[in-house]
Structure 1
Amino acid sequence: MQLVAVILTESNYNQWRRSMSIALSSKLKYRFVDGTCSKPAQNAPLLMHGMRYLEVRYAQSNVPKLFNLRKELSHLEQGSLSLSGYFTRFRTINDELDSVVNKPRCICAQCTCQVNAKLIEIEQNVQLTHFLRGLNDTYTTIRGQILLMKPLPTLNQCYAILLQEENQSNIHNSVSVTNDNIAMSVKA
């Protein structure tokens, strides 16, 4: 049985670990490998030691990669990219950051602190503001409207709003051009 599609190699430990953690958590088995479950009997396989061994062997310092990704994200602007192209590039960098950074999460079964929901909301708001910051000035008005929304939309909802605004602007511009052409035809 294969739990994850990502195969562990010398260079992808963090991505593999994230995929494995998600897979094990979804099957309620993560506690067996992270050490929070009671210690197995003396003659049981040492699963906890296995994960620690893999971490020591394959985990590499991701600080340089993290630095480069954060730098790239901070300098990312829409520029000549289409809205779709900018959104795709932004999401690609954020997905890479997610695979490099091991974010703390509460994994207790009956969590009442809601720390996971709060952390996710903070991450989403940071991503949203980074995305909006890099948009071209043609989106200034809608950007201001989005930032005033309570609660703030998710990044995907924001992208849908921007696409809708862009489509409406394109329709308005094509109607203006058509009216100008009609006016020129009448004068001739």
Structure 2
Amino acid sequence: MATNLSNPFLLHPSDQPGNILVFKTLQGDNYNIWSRAMRISLSAKNKLGLVDETIDPAAEIDKQFALWQRCNDMVLAWILNSVHEDIASSISYYTSAADVWADLCDRFSQGNDSHVYQIKREIVDRRQEQQSISVYYTKLKALWDELTSYHKPPTCTCGGLKKINERDEKESVMQFLMGLNESYVAVRGKSC
């Protein structure tokens, strides 16, 4: 009998409650990065639907309930293993992975405006100094990517999105050039 790998209730033998799915635990101030890493990991394990509620919880009288419960408990364990112990103690009595996910989102995605401000400030203040161009660019790109993750892309069918993307790309080039050290003054002058 073939195993249906697309079944979200399938647990691989390597799926254990003690598994740690992400490298850095949720501390509170790193919610956006943590959430993205967890979403990727849960998606890879075909369990994202248990937290984003695209997989409805089975009713207790449903024959699928035991399978849903087992997977839900596994995801709960993975989340508990990926958060700081103080946060874990505040979510340990939830029975639904989706409820935990929603609670963490409500608590830690708040204040995005202040975090966006901090990222923008860091971009403005970022300088190459003694770093190689590669290291400088990599650090700047990480900030741009994090900033982008806080903004939901607009939906547009008129073609205006292309102009916005071109403008944003040009802005990034300008930010990069402004942070270059003095040995690149000639490059800065030609590109601006």
Structure ranking higher on relative contact order (CA contacts 8 Å, 6+ apart): 2
Q: Could you say which structure has the higher helix fraction?
A: 1
Which of structures 1 and 2 has the bigger CA Rg?
1
Q: TM-score w.r.t. structure 2 length?
A: 0.49
